[in-house]
Structure 1
Amino acid sequence: MFKLLQGTLSTYTGIVAEPVYGREAFHPITDTVKDKQPFREATTKDLEWLQPPSTNVETQTFYFICDKSGYLGFFQVIHSVVVGNVYTTAQFTFRIFNKLKKDEAVWTSTHLEDFMIKGNNFYAQNFAIELNEDGNSYTFKSAVNPESVVDLTVTKEAPGVIIGENGFSYYGTDTKNPWGSMRHVFWPRNDVKGTIKLGEKEIDIEGKAMYVMALQGMKPHHAASTWNFLNYQGPHYSAVQMEFTTPNSYAKTKVSIGILVKDDKIIAATVDNNAIHKDSEPDKDVGWPVPKEIDYDFAGYTADSTDEAIQNKTAKVVKASLKGRLDTLVLRVDVMGEIPGFVKSLAGVVAGTKPYIYQWINPYHFEIEHDGEVSKEEGSCWSEATFISE
């Protein structure tokens, strides 16, 4: 997911490739929910900023899609901590694109001053993200950059989702004392409403949004070698798929989390998913095999399935797929080109690390099978593929 750009400031604390620890040194959250109902509803407590004492990156990211006006993109706060050098920073990143007018696009990344965290909320000069008292909506206001002034409210339509007991995957030989971690909490289907001002132009925003709060408690190139991310929003259905594959140090282990929603209900959370790259061609500048199509498959059990029913194989099965072409590239990010020179000079010596993020928005065909019925619809799909290391 856009996490490598979020985490690059921490790379200069670990510029050497890691030894090969093997699969036994990685403990994905998906292992803890094998043959169980994999999710629970996320609470307000789950959405608090954790602020661990180790090197980490915490983020709040809101992806929005407004089908009527054609606008889509994301707005995000990034909080990075590097313990070795006692370095803490915060950044507001923003992207807007119009799929109907493809030359209308803005990208900004702005340093935040005097930032402060209070429970669920994040504040800085001319910047605030607040979870409302009822726990069902966020207000996001940023006036730190005149090219991207944001005043939006994101209201939960379907419940939040967290996988397992706490959402954490751990790196290390002892899960009670891990040397790294990864965690995600999702609001998969939300309404978004408000305004975005791009210089002198003000845009009314009304559509659907997906929200994810993430923690990456280690150096990004040590945590993952590739990422795939999907945010589909349709007339009635939403689908989220987040997948990362660890580097060789942790046996190239894949972790995949999927969420399927219909209107205001979670249909299923799934951990048996695939993001299949098709018709790939090398990026001529860096050589990464960039797909022209990604098929996304989901497989799991209905949200009301009990552990006992899953183990007895009497639970109701859910399968879903999304298919479409990646014809509209929204953003191609050379991560090393986006970070400060002093970081680049150090991070660049990591053998085989040449991180690039590719983001697309395209119409996709969604199909789901559950309760003996097959449902289909067409919607908008935000896709990301991130390549970090060989």
Structure 2
Amino acid sequence: MNPATIDRIDLPVEELKWRLNVSGANEAFNYYLTMDEGHVACIQIIYSTLGWSPSVQVSGRFYHANGQNYTKTASFAGTAMVLSPDRHSATCEKSTFFFNPDTWTWTISYQSSAPDELSMELEFVATDQGCQINGGQKNFFIDKPANGYVLSQFIPKAKVNATIKVDGQTLTAPHAQGAILRYIHNKPTLPGRWNWVNFQTNQDSLLLLQFEMPDGYEYDIDVSSEGILVLNDKTVAVTLENCATHIDPEPDSTNGYLVPSRLHYEWIGKTKDGQELKVLLETPAAHMRGRIDVLSELPYFLRVFLQTFVMAPYIYHWVEKAKVSVKIGDEVRILEGSAFLETTFTYKMDE
């Protein structure tokens, strides 16, 4: 289960360097953008040492408020990714990901294979630097990191200046909201289900990253859940006693995964100044924006490698207007904003 206490939440800037030295792992930076008009975008660069040789995948997704979805994914050999001397920045083909550790600013130029259809120029400026809970690493077996782990690091709130070209049109958003998730999944074939929440208002942010391990393998953890609450651009709480609940699930006719009709999330803990905290978010899963057959987007040799584990991972994305109830001590406040919600199934899990 989750550890009972939070010993530290600091994220030293040196730990945001690319490593590229973990065997059998995926290492990724994920950049999330929420615009006032209701558009949502995300960019991922992932370096994988699964399979027979390293590979890199760069993906861009733009979910237009009018319901149109735009997605571009490209895969390359691992040698296509070039790091800066300080290992904080990376270039892959025509896309660049530059991080200034002095100002906690990320400057991203994403160029898909068809730039008129989808390209993005983004600048993320962290409002309160970053966060990793208890050093960031969760080992599947407590004293045996070589047997698999997840390392997660968060930039829970950033101000974003964005210029996005999509379907021949240029959109600008000088005051968008952002979040960044960096992770390393060592032996990523092991967790069975993931949930990710990125809720944003102009000054607030609420994140949840939860993974569940399948039964029957005697892992030292069964569920790991990390939450972060930002109010007025400052991190006020991190939590470990959280839950993501799928309500009224229905089987996907293609893969058999039980896809929720409603989503319910809870965060329970204490604020940084010691007050009791309870946060609730519940919403219909009404606006599915992405249904991603992960294997179909992977290079052939990596796809074959993962299929040897009888894996058929699928990712589901929803974008919902949502209300969040935040109770701190005896005070309750309601936040209204946009929620980007993601569920990933690796294996079928018991409900």
Q: Normalising to structure 1: TM-score of the pair?
A: 0.81
Is residue 157–residue 264 contact of structure 1 (8 Å, CA) maintained in 2?
yes
Q: What is the aligned partner in structure 1 of residue 122 from structure 2? A: 152
Task: String of CA shifts for 1:338-376, please: whole Å, max 9, x gaps.
Answer: 22344444433434x322111100011101111431111
Of 382, 385, 389, the match for 2:340:
382
Q: What is the aligned partner in structure 2 of residue 115 from structure 1? A: 81
1:174 is displaced (CA, Å) by 3.5
Q: What is the aligned partner in structure 1 of residue 283 from structure 2? A: 324
Q: How far, CA to CA, are the matches of 1:55 and 1:203 in structure 2?
A: 39
Q: Quickly say closer, same or farther: Cα 1:287–1:358, change in 2 above 3 A.
A: same
Q: How far, CA to CA, are the matches of 1:56 and 1:235 in structure 2?
A: 35
Q: What is the aligned partner in structure 1 of residue 102 from structure 2? A: 134
Q: How far, CA to CA, are the matches of 2:38 and 2:171 in structure 1?
A: 11
Is residue 38–residue 270 contact of structure 1 (8 Å, CA) maintained in 2?
no
Is residue 150–residue 184 contact of structure 2 (8 Å, CA) maintained in 1?
yes
1:199 is displaced (CA, Å) by 5.1
Matched, 1:105 2:75: no
The alignment's C-alpha RMSD in Å is: 2.0
Q: How far, CA to CA, are the matches of 2:167 and 2:324 in structure 1?
A: 36
Counterparts of 1:185-264 in structure 2, within 5 Å, are 185-198=153-166, 200-205=168-173, 206-218=175-187, 220-222=188-190, 224-248=191-215, 249-251=217-219, 253-264=222-233
Is residue 98–residue 105 contact of structure 1 (8 Å, CA) maintained in 2?
yes
Of 332, 335, 359, the match for 2:294:
335
Q: Which has more helix, going by share of residues?
A: 1
Is residue 44–residue 135 contact of structure 1 (8 Å, CA) maintained in 2?
no
Q: How far, CA to CA, are the matches of 1:271 and 1:151 in structure 2?
A: 34
Q: Quickly say closer, same or farther: Cα 1:324–1:362, change in 2 above 3 A.
A: same
Q: Quickly say closer, same or farther: Cα 1:294–1:115, change in 2 above 3 A.
A: same
Q: Normalising to structure 2: TM-score of the pair?
A: 0.90
Q: How far, CA to CA, are the matches of 2:34 and 2:250 in structure 1?
A: 28
Q: Quickly say closer, same or farther: Cα 1:65–1:299, change in 2 above 3 A.
A: same
Q: How far, CA to CA, are the matches of 1:344 and 1:45 in structure 2?
A: 33
Task: String of CA shifts for 1:102-144, please: whole Å, max 9, x gaps.
Answer: 1x32100023573212321112332211112523210001235
Paired amino acid for 2:62: I
Q: What is the aligned partner in structure 2 of residue 21 from structure 1? A: none
Is residue 74–residue 94 contact of structure 1 (8 Å, CA) maintained in 2?
yes
Q: What is the aligned partner in structure 2 of residue 3 from structure 1? A: none
Task: String of CA shifts for 1:202-261, please: whole Å, max 9, x gaps.
Answer: 22134111101111122x222x00011100002432100010011232457000000011
1:173 is displaced (CA, Å) by 6.7
Q: Quickly say closer, same or farther: Cα 1:235–1:152, change in 2 above 3 A.
A: closer
Q: What is the aligned partner in structure 2 of residue 91 from structure 1? A: 57
Runs of 5+ unmatched residues, structure 2: none
Q: How far, CA to CA, are the matches of 2:283 and 2:250 in structure 1?
A: 17
Give secondary structure in 1 for the equivalent of 2:296: helix
Q: How far, CA to CA, are the matches of 2:272 and 2:88 in structure 1?
A: 27
Paired amino acid for 1:336: L
> What percent identity do the matched residue pairs reach?
24
